[in-house]
Structure 1
Amino acid sequence: MRSVAIALIATTCAGGLALVGCGETEVRRTDANAVRDLSGQWNKTDSQKVANDLVPQILSGGWLSEFEGKNGRKPVLRPGKFVVRTQDNEVINQEIVFDAFREAFINSRKVTLIVTRTDAAEAREDRKDQDVHASASTRKESFQETAADFLLTAQINSQDDQSGKKKQKYYKISMSLVDVKTNEQVWLKSTEIAKDVER
């Protein structure tokens, strides 16, 4: 009986180890630029699509040529408020979305893009630190910042429609430019993304 019990325990342990082996995680590296929709929720492809849709329209707007004609230079843009309202508690990383826009604006060479107010505050703290610790030859002076001419704001809203196992995820992305001096809204545009998901 004892030998049978030992054999049974050994068989059980071996089976357990086999099950553990079957449950190992498999990881495959993929092209970060490939279009992959796994859940239907917002992803990197959506961020890139929105930037590709809206940035060329912003840069072809009449406000740009009007500003250059009056001032003889490129306008300065600062990223402003970004509002996200989604259903099902979906989380959209604002930084990833705005990074796609930042890259497109910088590569266009048609505007000067400065950092957000939060990043600007950090740079000011660094200059204060330099006043105490940095050498005179490398210290950066205060009151030398480039001021924004326009504030770039964005908003993402989502609405889901579902029937049984079929679901449509709809996103509307709106962007606007506001003249910092006059508060005039000089440009406003939106684009849409719709995805059909079946489970």
Structure 2
Amino acid sequence: MKKGLLIAVMSIVALIATTSCARKVTRIDTNEQIDISGRWNDTDARLSAEALSAQIVTGDWITDYVQQTGKKPVVIVGLVRNKSHEHIDAEVFTKEVEKALVKYQKARVVQGGEMREELRAEKADQQTNASVSTMKKFGLETGADFILQGTINSVVDALKKQKVVYYQVDLELTNIETNEKVWFGDKKIKKYIKN
């Protein structure tokens, strides 16, 4: 009898333990701000993307270039270096800047980095495996007029259970031919964290 009672009690305890630790996932609006850790998160990336996109598409550099050349500028996105104390994926907001340039028809954007290398590999493969009438030729890529580069920096001030983290995302656009910096944009974010 004691053994049967012990098994029943252990079964109930196991059932309570498994149901009380169950994970619950709730879908939320992607624009809802939720800060759990105080570290860089999706809200910070979104705010940076919105601010930097608005700054670059309204910059005088576009008007100046069009007046000088009669053409839309061609932009390539270079490196955005993370110099902060955290892991931050800059591509989250640089893609938004690229989309804004294309969406508002302010500039032409050419592929860069690893994706450009993938395109070139496909072009090389076509030289052997595609018909002559459909093969894409080397040497016909659109050259960029400007390169977008930048940095992400952070400063942490902490004492006991309080911390202030300051982030600054700086982007700059440089004329590839002349090395002249023609546009600067930034987004600053400051967080107070109390444990």
Q: TM-score, length-normalised on structure 1?
A: 0.90
Would the aligned equivalents of 2:162 and 2:194 in 1 still touch at CA under 8 Å? yes
Alignment partners' CA distance in 1, 2:102 and 2:35: 28
Q: Secondary structure at the match of 1:121?
A: helix
Aligned to 1:20: 18
CA RMSD of aligned residues (A): 1.6
Report the alpha carbon displacement of residue 75 of structure 1 after superposing the two structures with TM: 0.3
Aligned to 2:93: 97
Percent pairwise identity: 32
**1:28-43 → structure 2 map (5 Å cutoff):** 28-43=26-41
Report the alpha carbon displacement of residue 62 of structure 1 after superposing the two structures with TM: 2.8
Would the aligned equivalents of 2:75 and 2:148 in 1 still touch at CA under 8 Å? yes
Q: Give the letter for the 1:63 counterpart.
A: W
Report the alpha carbon displacement of residue 86 of structure 1 after superposing the two structures with TM: 1.8
**1:12-91 → structure 2 map (5 Å cutoff):** 12-87=10-85, 90-91=86-87
Alignment partners' CA distance in 2, 1:120 and 1:24: 45
Q: Secondary structure at the match of 1:55?
A: helix
Aligned to 1:127: 123
Q: Secondary structure at the match of 2:137?
A: coil
Report the alpha carbon displacement of residue 19 of structure 1 after superposing the two structures with TM: 0.8
Alignment partners' CA distance in 2, 1:99 and 1:36: 22
Report the alpha carbon displacement of residue 28 of structure 1 after superposing the two structures with TM: 0.7
Would the aligned equivalents of 1:47 and 1:100 in 2 still touch at CA under 8 Å? no
Number of residues paired by the alignment?
A: 195
Q: Give the letter for the 2:89 counterpart.
A: N
Q: Give the letter for the 2:45 counterpart.
A: S
Aligned to 1:148: 144
Aligned to 1:7: 5
Would the aligned equivalents of 1:160 and 1:170 in 2 still touch at CA under 8 Å? yes
Aligned to 1:176: 172
Alignment partners' CA distance in 2, 1:103 and 1:70: 24
Q: Secondary structure at the match of 2:26?
A: coil
Would the aligned equivalents of 1:76 and 1:111 in 2 still touch at CA under 8 Å? yes
Alignment partners' CA distance in 1, 2:43 and 2:104: 20
Q: Give the letter for the 1:78 counterpart.
A: I
Alignment partners' CA distance in 2, 1:111 and 1:170: 32
Would the aligned equivalents of 1:51 and 1:104 in 2 still touch at CA under 8 Å? no
The gaps in structure 2 that reach 5 residues or longer are none
Report the alpha carbon displacement of residue 149 of structure 1 after superposing the two structures with TM: 0.3
The gaps in structure 1 that reach 5 residues or longer are none
Alignment partners' CA distance in 1, 2:46 and 2:11: 50
Report the alpha carbon displacement of residue 185 of structure 1 after superposing the two structures with TM: 1.4
Q: TM-score, length-normalised on structure 2?
A: 0.92
